[in-house]
Amino acid sequence: MSEEKQCQCAEIQEEELYPRLEEVINQHRGKGEDLIMVLHKAQNLFGYLPRRAQEMVAEGLNVSLNEVYGVITFYNFFSTVPQGRNSVKICLGTACYVRGSQEVLDKAQKELGIKVGGTTEDRRYSLDVVRCIGACGLAPAMLVNEDVYGRVKSPHLVDILKKYE
């Protein structure tokens, strides 16, 4: 299957979600105070917040697009970039960094072919850094979705990622 057809398929799937978003918006129509709740639901539908969804939310809740964008950019939970099915987060907190997490991050970028903040073309993985995941005793640590991995060395990374294919 060509990349072009894969992209079209993803667009068709995403297009099918807009009526569901409209249902969510209708439950909160004109209630600007529900903005964060509606954005959460929209992001759960799409996996991110595409521009068209932002516009629909703004219009439906009777708030400005600037206000919607302000909320999205203020809270790091929200994303305007398509996210992968698997979220890979490498800790760069002090304990992890001192114990080699930068090498793990470099290996992750190389293996996945993306930079921090990116998503693989097949939307299988997204890659981000965090400053602490509360596992300093296991440094260097990383998260894949909700799974915590400790004492990660760059050679282990490939085996960890294979679990999520």
Q: pLDDT digit string (tens) for 16-46?
A: 999 999 999 999 999 999 999 999 999 999 9
What residues does 149 pair with on adjacent strands?
A: 142
Q: What pLDDT does residue 25 have?
A: 98
**Over 50: is that where the pLDDT of 7 sits?**
no
* Domain boundary assignment for the chain: 3-74, 86-162
Q: Per-residue pLDDT tens for 54-81?
A: 999 999 999 999 999 999 999 878 999 8
Check if the beta carbon of residue 48 is closer than 8 Å to that of residue 87: no
For the chain, state the CA radius of gyration: 18
Query: Whole-angstrom Cα distance, residue 149 to residue 20?
Result: 36
Query: What are 79-109's pLDDT values in tens digits?
Result: 998 889 999 999 999 999 999 999 999 999 9
Domain 86-162 in CATH 3.90.1200.10? The answer is: no
| pTM for this model (two decimals) | 0.68
